[in-house]
Amino acid sequence: MNAKDLVALNNEKRKQLNEHNRNYYENMLVYIRSQLLLSEQQSEELLMELLDHLLEAQKHGKMAEDIFGTDAKAYCDELIRQLPKEKKRNIYAFIGYLAVRLFALGVLVTGAVELVAEWFTDVDDTVYLGKASVLFVIDFAVILLAVALVMRWIRKSAFHDDSSTFGGKVKEFLGIWFACCLVIGMFVLAEKLVPEFGYRIEAGGMVRILFGLFVFAVTWRLNKKFRITK
């Protein structure tokens, strides 16, 4: 059973937990899954074991606290210390896959925008390969950083979830809003600051869309073959 199957089975089985136990368990689940550098397979196998155990204990009238203790975070930290890390090769393959996907998406979106804009005005199709590569690296780094920050935030809030209160909701909204502004702001800033340099090519809307689709198809094939996202 690979990690993806385990996640699906976990979603199904979790429904059998009562509300109290489900709350307790789901906090642990979020906390452990947000540790992106741990082996996904091992983490999911462990989460399934804990769930099976809790379900069995629930049948005997026990609560999650009776099994995992009153300090769920301390318990999870102990588990995390013992869980093996994801293989470096898998992490690099996944990041590389994301980078190529992002590249294809960028090409597609700018292509579509240009295609529409061409109807109304004259569009400059020039792409400076030097500038485009630097921008891509910066944008990708910003996205990775944002993901890392969001995960850290999820980890921190896993065991004191206040998203049901009004104040909690406002805080959550402001947090997401701020993160989005930061990411978009960095994109715009980079676009303005990086000078135009490098080899010049002309790439119109249609060309970009076709190229973007082609890259997507290639990543799709590679992913199927090497099971990068399992």
Partner 1 sequence: MSLRSQLLKGVLEGCILAIIKKESVYGYELSVKLQKFGLNDVSEGSIYPLLLRLQKAGLIKGEMRDSPSGPKRKYYHLTEKGEEALQDFIAEWESIRKPVEKILRGGNME
Using rule CB under 8 A, residue 71 touches partner 1: no
Tokens 């550098």 belong to 37
Helices (H), the chain: 3-14, 19-33, 40-59, 64-68, 72-82, 88-117, 129-157, 166-193, 205-226
Least distance (Å) from partner 1 to the CB of residue 106?
40
DSSP string covering 188-202:
HHHHHHSPP-S-EEE
Which of 82, 121, 163, 164 binds partner 1 (CB under 8 A)? It is 82
Using rule CB under 8 A, residue 112 touches partner 1: no
Distance CA 167, CA 157 (A): 14
Pick the piece of the chain touching partner 1 (CB under 8 A) from 50-58, 111-119, 154-162, 192-200. Answer: 50-58
Contacts to partner 1 from residues 1-20, by CB under 8 A: 1
Pick the piece of the chain touching partner 1 (CB under 8 A) from 17-25, 75-83, 200-208, 215-223. Answer: 75-83
Helix (H, G, I), strand (E, B), or coil: what is residue 125? coil
Helix (H, G, I), strand (E, B), or coil: what is residue 38? strand
Among residues 108, 9, 105, the alpha carbon closest in space to that of 51 is found at 9
- Cα 164 from chain centre: 24
Total residues in contact with partner 1, by rule CB under 8 A: 21
Distance CA 109, CA 33 (A): 31
Least distance (Å) from partner 1 to the CB of residue 67?
5
Pick the piece of the chain touching partner 1 (CB under 8 A) from 49-57, 124-132, 159-167, 180-188. Answer: 49-57
DSSP 85: B
Between 49 and 191, CB nearer to partner 1 = 49
- Cα 57 from chain centre: 33
Using rule CB under 8 A, residue 78 touches partner 1: yes
Pick the piece of the chain touching partner 1 (CB under 8 A) from 17-25, 66-74, 159-167, 202-210. Answer: 66-74
Distance CA 24, CA 69 (A): 11
Pick the piece of the chain touching partner 1 (CB under 8 A) from 43-51, 107-115, 148-156, 188-196. Answer: 43-51
Among residues 36, 27, 34, the alpha carbon closest in space to that of 71 is found at 27
Contacts to partner 1 from residues 140-179, by CB under 8 A: none
Least distance (Å) from partner 1 to the CB of residue 68?
4
Using rule CB under 8 A, residue 49 touches partner 1: yes
Between 58 and 157, CB nearer to partner 1 = 58
* Interacting residues with partner 1 (CB under 8 A): 1, 45-46, 48-50, 52-53, 56-57, 66-69, 75, 78-79, 81-84
